[in-house]
């Protein structure tokens, strides 16, 4: 297993955001967490990347316990997190944003190659690489966020709501690229409110409800599940 | 006409000092979220270093400038490690700590230099540059102007052309997102306060031969720094530099025609007007969240 979460709880003050969840992600997997607002999806990602620390339970990544590590150490182990709301550096240029994704790396030649690969995925970023990120559209800002996360050359990519607020055409474009990235060997954990999209892209899914895992299984079987269809797919 | 040109030149030189300490204040506030009330006292320590080592003990001016920079940088780093880092989740605690340091440094300065009249440092560079037969600029001011410009130029290069400089700007914009890029926030905080301290030390050392040195000189410095920061837009480094120059010209002209006290009153009024008309400052950007 690349990532193994066991009985993890996260509290914000006295409020339990996660009440003991277990998740597994294998090498090369594409896993999605779906659920409604406040179910604990973002909290799960924040705990994996070290922004929040679990109050109980363990997280093992690549054979190492990481639940108490700081975000910069976890990134160095190979987990990149494109957080909720994109959180790109708006006053910095597109190029500076992308290169900051490679902040911990020193291999200039390889960084150049990865940058090139990202520009092939997102040609629009190349055209506007010297523009300040503030001037970019929502979709382009999401591309920066994903590109920045990829620049650390992660083994595991955590994505929080990449489709939020974007036009369907852009969502399709980004989806295609995520599948590509996954095929190249990067494991992905995708958090989405758009359950239909998420279950189409992923191989495996977890359904979170009020801080616990209500269901989990192959994405296809979840799509046929009555509860999922009613609660999340609106069918 | 002569008076106007002369005032413009004096204002620009003054603007260099203002920019040096205002930029440091902005940097520390941006990266660490702490309003460093002791920033004026850091400038004061820089000036005292020149008085003690150069004027009293005859050590040459240039090495003393370097010593002042190093000393104030070290004070800044100690403040970060032992005051601001332990209180980083509570901005009010950081602010109160910085006020404590302000008093401690003032008392230390009194212990070192006594509480008698203000001290003067004879300018190490004598003579006056005469331009177009009527503009008179003492060489000491010429020197200060070019050194502060070089200091600001180096800072600009560091912030826009180096990876560490980008990281500094990134942390000022979004700490969490920066941590997710593998940036060690504590390390960047140390760099921010180190750079801010170095600039304050430099400003103090350069101002020493041109101003009255006393334990309370930081008071005017911090007021100026606040005016410049607010007029320029809190969090904007380029705004701080531009506002420093504008405010220095403004201040110099009013001083020439109406006197120094009126100039400071007008400066504070200017700050109030900016807060009412454009609260984000001339270069500031509204921060969401």
* Cα gap A20→B108, rounded to integer Å: 55
What are B137's strand-pairing partners? B129
Q: How far apart are CA A223 and CA A153, in angstroms?
A: 32
Could you count the other beta carbons within 10 Å of the beta carbon of residue A88? 27
The model's pLDDT over B90-138, given as tens digits with 9 standing for 90+, comes to 878 888 999 999 999 999 989 988 888 888 888 888 888 887 877 788 8
Token pair 């989405």 in the structure block, residue: A192
Q: How far away is chain A from the Cα of B184, in angstroms, using its nearest Cα?
A: 6
| A15-37: average pLDDT | 94
ipTM: 0.91
Average pLDDT, chain A: 93
Nearest CA in chain B to A79: B180
Query: Which residue carries 């109030």 as its tokens?
Result: B272
Return the biggest CA–CA distance within chain A. Answer: 51
**Taking CA atoms, what residue in B is nearest to A147?**
B181
| Nearest Cα residue in chain A from B176 | A51
Query: Given an 8 Å threshold on Cβ–Cβ distance, is B174 in contact with A99?
Result: no
d(CA B139, nearest CA chain A) in Å? 39
Angle between helices B260-277 and B218-232 (to 10 degrees): 30
Statement: residue B288 has pLDDT above 80: no
- Of the residues B30, B170, B172, B181, the best mutation for testing chain A's interface (the one with the most A CB atoms within 10 Å of its CB) is B181
Q: Is it the case that residue B286 has pLDDT exceeding 60?
A: no
Does domain A3-91+155-233 fall under CATH 3.40.50.300? My reply is: yes
CA distance B119 to chain A (A): 44
A69: left (phi over 0), alpha (psi -120 to 50) or beta: beta
Per-residue confidence (pLDDT) for residue B285, from 0 to 100 = 57
Do you know the residue count of chain A?
235
Residue indicated by tokens 């002369």? B6
| Mean pLDDT value across residues B163-187 | 92
B286 at interface of A, judged by CB pairs closer than 8 A: no
Quick one: pLDDT at residue A175?
94
pLDDT at B246: 86
| Mean of all residue pLDDT scores within chain B | 87
Strands A30-35 and A187-192: parallel
Give the distance from residue B189's alpha carbon to the nearest chain A alpha carbon, in angstroms.
15
Contacts of A148 in chain B (CB under 8 A): 181
Tell me the per-residue pLDDT of B33-78, one tens digit each, with 9 for 90 and over.
Answer: 888 899 999 999 999 999 998 888 888 999 999 999 999 999 999 9
Q: Of the ranges B207-221, B222-236, B238-252, which is most confident?
A: B207-221
Using a CB-CB cut-off of 8 Å, the residues of chain B touching A96 are: 166
- Contact criterion met (CB < 8 Å) for B179 and A88: no
Q: How far is Cα B211 from Cα B13, in angstroms, rounded to an integer?
A: 13
Please tell me the predicted confidence (pLDDT) of residue B221: 87
Which pLDDT does position B225 carry in this prediction?
A: 87
**This prediction's pTM:** 0.85
């Amino acid at each position: 297993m690349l990532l193994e979460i066991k009985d993890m709880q996260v509290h914000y003050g006295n409020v339990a955001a996660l009440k003991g969840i277990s998740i597994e992600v294998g090498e090369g997997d594409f896993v999605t967490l779906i659920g409604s607002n406040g179910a604990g999806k973002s909290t799960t990602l924040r705990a994996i990347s070290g922004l929040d620390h679990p109050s109980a339970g363990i997280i093992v990544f690549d054979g190492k316990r990481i639940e108490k590590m700081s975000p910069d150490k976890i990134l160095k182990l190979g987990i990149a997190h494109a957080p909720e709301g994109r959180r790109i550096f708006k006053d910095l240029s597109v190029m500076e944003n992308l290169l900051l994704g490679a902040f911990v790396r020193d291999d200039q030649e390889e960084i150049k190659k990865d940058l090139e690969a990202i520009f092939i995925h997102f040609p629009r970023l190349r055209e506007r690489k010297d523009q300040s990120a503030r001037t970019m559209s929502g979709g382009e800002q999401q591309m920066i966020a994903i590109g920045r996360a990829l620049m650390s050359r992660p083994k595991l990519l955590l994505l929080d709501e990449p489709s939020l607020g974007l036009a369907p055409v852009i969502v399709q474009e980004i989806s295609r690229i995520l599948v590509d990235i996954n095929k190249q060997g990067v494991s992905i954990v995708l958090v989405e409110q758009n359950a239909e999209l998420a279950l189409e892209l992923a191989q495996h899914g977890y359904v979170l409800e009020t801080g616990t895992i209500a269901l989990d299984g192959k994405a296809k079987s979840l799509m046929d599940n009555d509860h999922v269809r009613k609660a999340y797919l609106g069918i | 006409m002569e008076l106007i040109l002369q005032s413009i030149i004096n204002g620009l030189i003054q603007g260099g000092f203002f920019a040096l300490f205002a930029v440091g204040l902005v940097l520390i506030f941006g990266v660490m979220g702490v309003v460093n009330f002791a920033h004026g006292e850091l400038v004061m320590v820089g000036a005292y270093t020149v008085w003690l080592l150069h004027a009293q003990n005859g050590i040459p001016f240039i090495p003393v400038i370097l010593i002042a920079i190093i000393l104030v940088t070290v004070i800044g780093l100690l403040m970060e490690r032992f005051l601001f880092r332990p209180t980083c989740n509570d901005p009010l605690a950081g602010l109160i700590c910085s006020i404590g340091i302000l008093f401690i440094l003032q008392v230390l300065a009194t212990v070192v230099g006594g509480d008698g009249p203000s001290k003067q440092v004879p300018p190490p560079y004598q003579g006056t540059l005469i331009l177009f037969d009527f503009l008179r600029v003492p060489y000491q001011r010429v020197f200060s102007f070019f050194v502060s410009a070089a200091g600001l130029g180096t800072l600009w290069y560091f912030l826009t052309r180096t990876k560490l400089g980008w990281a500094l700007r990134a942390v000022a914009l979004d700490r969490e997102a920066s941590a997710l890029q593998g940036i060690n926030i504590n390390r960047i905080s140390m760099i921010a306060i180190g750079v801010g301290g170095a600039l304050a030390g430099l400003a103090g050392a350069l101002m020493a031969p041109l101003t009255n040195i006393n334990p309370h000189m930081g008071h005017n410095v911090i007021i100026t720094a606040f005016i410049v920061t607010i007029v320029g837009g809190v969090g904007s480094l380029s705004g701080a530099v531009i506002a420093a120059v504008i405010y220095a010209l403004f201040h110099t002209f009013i001083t020439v025609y109406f006197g120094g006290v009126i100039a400071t009153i007008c400066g504070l009024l200017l700050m109030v007007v900016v807060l009412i008309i454009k609260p984000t400052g001339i270069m500031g950007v509204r921060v969401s969240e």
